[in-house]
Structure 1
């Protein structure tokens, strides 16, 4: 059986509200927020403290991210930018890549061995949830680790739903882990680079510099490009009619 192609990604009301709230906070911060000199000075102090106590800072960051990702909280984007801001693009990418993969693996294990029974019972009373799990199961059955990578690369399902749904499939932890790591790496690189670039600004006006704008544009562009590639790969070709 050919697995279903990916469902269309939609801008739900919740996502639009989050985007509107983030825009409002940004506008307020620039227009009436803290003094520019204070923000720049404090951010420099934070980066200096992180460099001065690098092993402790990295260890604390890894612990926090592993726990939050294991709970399937959607905080990885902001933590990746923060890692690039504090540790630089290279180290920030390495730290986030390792800790987010470890957190995803822990979430997978919890979902498979602790919450599998309650989740299956919940799905029996929630038809939409059951259909989502069935779609994920068919995708893994047809494409294996590649489908895991596709779900990680593109915002088709919520992060928590991906973790739960994949844990209910027969996929092995090793396949799940390396596919998740590889799929999250491109966006991690872009976000960490954006954080490192933000660390170099000396005024709020520099947030709109060409380099920062390019990196900000890449944030949605990379998942979109990966989504298009995945759609082309997963959608079965129409059979040619014989002559």
Structure 2
């Protein structure tokens, strides 16, 4: 994930005109469903392609849309199989009950703090007792700050000399969120055994 990757992807998309803009948006959607490169690379390319705020909006809308599509696709085709296996494990069953009651909180926090990769959250929520409404609202609320952060990081990587101070702060914030996510993950895992 370097400056050249983001710049090269953005230049390639820009050279395709309107089709490149459509591809830029669809790459975010595809990356959310099946992560093939770090999100920050595609997000940074879209920020260069569309301009910062429009790029952020494209990243946000298509990442949320991809998450919702992955959630419903997994729920339609994998939920019954997964629920049958989860019911055999007491810890998973207790955590599943908590997700049914507090799904909005868990999804929002897992989006803001990188507890799991986005596609993992989509799949796990789909097979667990998270209500659709809680998943969608939690995704819309929680993805906004993370996508803004990743769009800024992608932007500042390309303009390192101009924004190196801000980039260091953004990377520190991202590191703190990773630490918070790790803490929450341990807490949630241990709470199932209580």
TM-score (norm 2): 0.72
- Specify which of 175, 178, 183 is matched with residue 220 of structure 1: 175
Gaps of 5+ in 1: 1-21, 30-38, 237-243
Q: Deviations over 1:20-69 (max 9, x none)?
A: xx7xxx7xx9xxxxxxxxx6xx948945962982x433311222221232
1:209 aligns with 2:177: no
Give aligned pairs, total: 188
1:95 aligns with 2:58: yes
Q: Summarize the Cα distance change of 1:175–1:45 in structure 2 as closer, same or farther, 3 Å threshold.
A: closer
Deviation of the 1:73 alpha carbon: 5.9
1:177 aligns with 2:132: no
Would you tell me which structure has more helix in proportion to its own residues?
2
Give, in whole Å, the separation in 1 of the partners of 2:107 and 2:136: 9
RMSD value over aligned CA atoms? 4.0
Structure showing greater radius of gyration is 1
1:166 aligns with 2:125: yes
Q: Summarize the Cα distance change of 1:150–1:82 in structure 2 as closer, same or farther, 3 Å threshold.
A: same
Gaps of 5+ in 2: none
Higher relative contact order (CA 8 A, sep 6+): 1
> Which residue in the other structure is 2:14 paired with?
50
After TM superposition, the structure 1 = structure 2 runs for residues 1-243 of structure 1, keeping only pairs within 5 Å, are 43=7, 46-47=10-11, 50=14, 53=17, 55-71=18-34, 75-120=38-83, 123=86, 131=91, 133-134=92-93, 136-201=95-160, 206=161, 209-224=164-179
